[in-house]
Structure 1
Amino acid sequence: METRIFLPGQLQEAGRLIRSGGLVAFPTETVYGLGGNAFLHDSARAIYAAKGRPSDNPLIVHIPSLDRMSQVCGGVDPVSQILAEALWPGPLTLILPKSPSIPGSVTGGLATVGVRIPDDPTAMELLRFADVPVAAPSANTSGRPSPTAFWMVQRDLSGRIDGIVKGPDTRIGLESTILRVDQGSVFILRPGAIGIEQIRQVLDEAGMSAIPLYSPMEGTAEHPEGTDAAHHQVPGSRYRHYSPSIRVRRFSDGASLTALLQDELNENPDLRFAILTTQRFSTLPLDGQSQRVVVYADLDHYARQLYKDMVQLESEDYQLIILHYPSSTVFSPQEGGIRSALQDRIRRACGDE
C-alpha cells in the first residue's frame, strides 16, 4: 500500500479519505493518532490490523465539538458534562455509554466508548473536514512508544495505512487522561496531563466537592469493579505498552541509579546505555563513548521527549535505557498530572504493572 503524505493545506482531502473508510494518521496535542471513520466496522478492523492491536482493546473516538457527542454517546451524566465543558478541548477522555451508531468493534465489545475533543488546530480542522466521529488510537505498532513526531509514524506505519498528515511534534507527548463517572464517583483510569487536582478544582467550582474522586496513581482507591474490569475499559492498560525493543529500567534518585549502574556494568562492562533524567549527576561512571545522559529541563520537557528519545536510542543500537522515575510529590496541579502520567508510562515501559 502506498501511504500518502498530506500537508496542512490538504486536510480536506485527508478528511474525505477518513470519511470514505481510509486510515489517516494525524497529530494531536498528546500523540499522533491513527484515524478511521468511527461509524464503520471495517475502519475499526483496519485500524486493529495496521497496528497489530488486539481487537478487545477499545479505541478512543475524537469529535470536533460538544454538539457532536450525541453521535457517539447514548447519554451523558451531569458530572461528565461539566468536566467536558470545562476541560475540552484538551487531553481528557471520558468513558460514556456508547451510541448504537458506534459499532462494537470500535469499543472492544464494550457498551461504553471513550470520547474526547483534542486541543490541536490541525486535528480539529481534520475532524471538521471528516465530518464523522474519528476513532484514533496512537499511530504506532501496538505496544511500542506512541509517536510524537511525524517521522515516528512513518517509521512504524508507512506502507500499512492510507495517509499521514505531516504536522509538528506534539505539544504534550503523553496520552490523554482517561476518566469515568461510575456509581456516584469519579475514577481516573489512566493518568495524563490533566491531573486529579485540576479535576477536583472543576468539581469544586461546580458545587460538586462532595463527589469522591479516585486515582490509583495518586494513592487513592481503585475502580469498584476491580483492576481487571477497569483496565478492560482503558486503551493502553490491558497489554504491555510504551516499550521500545530494548531493555528499560528506572531509578528514583542518585543512590538507586548508582546501584543500578553497578549491577549492569558488573554484568556487562561494555554495555551501551543511556540515562534520561531531569537531574544532573557529577559522579557517574561514564566513558563518553557507549553511554549517554540526556537531562531534561523539567517534567513537561521530559514528557514531550520521552517517546522520541526512546525510539531514537533504539535506532542507534543502545542496549539499555535508564529512566528517571519522578517520585517527588511537590508539584503544581499541572505538573502533578504530568508526574503521574510519566510514572505510569515509565512503569509500563519497564514491564512493571
Structure 2
Amino acid sequence: MTTEIGKNIDEAKAHLLNGDVVAIPTETVYGLAGNALNEEAVIKIFEAKNRPHFNPLIIHLPFWNDVKKYVTYIPEHAHTLAMHFSPGPITYLLPKKATIPDIITAGSKKVAVRIPAHPVTLQLLRAIDFPLAAPSANQFGYVSPTSPEHVYNSLKGRIPFILDGGSSNIGVESTIVDFEGDDIIIRRNGGISKEEIEAVLGFPVSSATEASEHPVAPGQLKSHYATNTPLYMVEASSLTGHNHDNTITIGFGIQHADATFNLSPEGDLHEAAKHLFELLRIADAQNAEAIYVSEVPNTGIGVAINDRLQRAQHQMK
C-alpha cells in the first residue's frame, strides 16, 4: 500500500466513506481515524497500529450537540465543562448507546467522546455523517505523533492517506474525565489541567490515573509512549550526572542548559508539552545507550508531561 500525505479534505473523506482509515491532525496529537460505526473500519485501526483490542478508543465529533446521538445520558457537569473546554483537549466518558460497537469501548458501557479543536479535522468531521474513532496515529506503545512526518515514519505502507494539518500545538493527549454520580474523576491527565477543571466546576475533583492492564479509558496502560532506546525519568537535580558520551539527556529550564536537548529553555510547561514527543523521537534516533529525561514541575500540564514520561520509562525484565 502506498501512503500519501496531502491537504485534500475530500480525499480523506473518500477514504473514510470507503471504510478505510486515515491519519488526521488534532491540536493534541495526530489520530488514526476510521468510521466509529463500522466495525470493519475500526478493526483496521487496531491492525494498522498493532493495538490490543482491550484498549478502548475515543470517538470524535464536530459539535457538542451531536454527543446525545451516541450516549444515553449527559451529566450536567459534563455540559458545564463542555461549554468551557470543547472544542478542545478534553474527553468525556459517558454511557453509550447500542449504536456504538463494543469494540470501540473494549466492552465497557461507557464511550470516550471528544470535540477536537483543530480546524482541518473539524471541517472533515462536518463533512461526514458519522463519528471518527481515532487513537494516536503510530505503532502501538511508541511515542505519539505530532506531525504528518511522524505518522508517515510509523505507518507508511499501512494506511492510504495522512491529512496534513501541520504540527500539533498542544503536544500531549486530551484529559479524560469520568462521571460517577456526583463525583468527577480524571482518568487520564492531558491538555486541560485538574486545576482548570476545578476552577470551572467550583469544587475538587479526584484522579484515578493508575496504570491498568485492563484500562477503562485510553492511555492507562503501564507501558506506553515508549522509545526504542531505554528511557529513564530522573529528578531535575540529578540530570546533569547522567551527561555522558553515550547518553542523551533532556532537560527543562535554564538549570539544564548543558543537557543534550531542552523541553523549554525558558521553563514554559506548555512549550515543554508541545515539544515532548518530538524531542523523544529525535533522542531515540541518536543511537545512544540510554535517554535520561528530567521530571518537570508537577503542576498544570506538567502533570500530563510527567505521566507520559513515567509510562515511557524502560521496563526492567
Alignment of 1:316-335 (within 5 A): 316-327=286-297, 329=299
Change beyond 3 A, Cα 1:195–1:36: same
What percent of counterpart residues are identical?
Answer: 35
Cα-to-partner distance string for 1:37-63 (whole Å, 9 max, x where unaligned):
000111111100000000010000000
Contact 2:25-2:163 within 8 A present in 1 as well: yes
Distance across 1 between alignment mates of 2:197 and 2:250: 33
In structure 1, what is the equivalent of residue 303 of structure 2? 340
Deviation at 1:324, TM superposition (A): 1.6
Q: What residue identity is the alignment partner of 1:292?
A: T
Match runs of 1:137-152 below 5 Å = 137-152=135-150
2:206 is matched with: 214
Match of 2:255 in 1: 280
Deviation at 1:281, TM superposition (A): 4.1
Aligned to 1:287: none
Deviates more, 1:339-348 or 1:319-328: 319-328
For the residue of structure 1 that corresponds to 2:254, the secondary structure is coil
Deviation at 1:313, TM superposition (A): 2.0
Confirm whether residue 24 of structure 1 aligns to residue 40 of structure 2.
no
* Shift, 1:344, TM fit: 0.4
The answer (yes or no) to whether the contact 1:110–1:233 under 8 Å persists in 2 is yes
Say which of 44, 50, 54 aligns to 2:52.
54
Is it true that 1:315 corresponds to 2:285 in the alignment? Answer: yes
Which region of structure 1 is more displaced relative to structure 2, 294-303 or 39-48?
A: 294-303
Q: What is the distance in 1 between the residues matched to 2:189 and 2:31? A: 18
Q: Which residue of structure 1 aligns with residue 260 of structure 2?
A: 292
Alignment deviations for residues 152-193 of structure 1 (CA, whole Å, 9 cap, x no partner) = 000000110121011210000000000101132000111112
- 2-structure distance, mates of 1:168, 1:152: 11
SS of the residue corresponding to residue 202 of structure 1 reads: helix
Map of 1:3 onto structure 2? 3
Offset of residue 260 of structure 1: 4.5
Q: How much has 1:71 moved relative to structure 2?
A: 2.7
Alignment pair present for 1:271 and 2:219: no
Q: Return the offset for 1:294.
A: 2.8
Quick check: 1:120 aligned with 2:118? yes
Residue 295 of structure 1, CA deviation: 5.3
2:186 aligns with 188
Q: Which amino acid aligns with 1:339?
A: G
> SS of the residue aligned with 1:316?
coil
Match runs of 1:165-180 below 5 Å: 165-180=163-178
* Structure 1 length-normalised TM: 0.83
Greater C-alpha Rg:
1
Which moved further from structure 2: 158-167 or 171-180?
158-167
**Deviation readout 1:297-353 (Å, 9 max, x if unpaired):** 321111111111111222232332221201355xxxxxx1x111011011111147x
Q: 2: CA distance between counterparts of 1:274 and 1:281?
A: 9
Aligned to 2:274: 304
| 1:278-309: CA deviation from partner (whole Å, max 9, x where unpaired) | 23347x6xxxxxx8243513211111111111
Q: CA deviation at 1:106?
A: 1.1
**Secondary structure at 1:179's aligned position in 2?**
strand
- Quick one: structure 1 residues 45 and 214, their matched pair in 2 at CA, closer, same or farther if it must change by over 3 Å? same
TM-score, length-scaled by structure 2: 0.92
1:69 corresponds in structure 2 to 67
Secondary structure (helix, strand or coil) at the match of 1:310 reads helix
Structure 2 equivalent of residue 252 of structure 1: 235
Structure 2 residue runs of 5 or longer lacking an equivalent are none
* Distance change (3 Å), C-alpha of 1:57 and 1:239: farther
Q: 2:43 aligns with which of 45, 48, 61?
A: 45
Q: Please give the secondary structure, in 1, of the residue aligned with 2:102.
A: coil
User: Paired residue for 2:223?
Assistant: 240
Q: How large is the Cα RMSD of the aligned pairs?
A: 2.2
User: Could you tell me how far apart the structure 2 residues matched to 1:203 and 1:27 are?
Assistant: 29
Q: 1:20–1:37: 8 Å Cα contact kept in structure 2?
A: no
Q: In 1, distance between residues paired with 2:218 and 2:309? A: 16
Q: Number of matched residues?
A: 314
CA deviations on 1:202-251 (whole Å, 9 max, x unpaired) are: 212xxxx4xx5112xxxxxx48xx9749x621112125111110011122
Aligned to 2:82, the other structure's residue is in SS state: helix
Q: Determine if contact 2:90/2:177 at 8 Å carries over to the other structure.
A: yes
Contact 1:143 1:239 in 2 (8 A): no
Q: Secondary structure at the match of 1:189?
A: strand
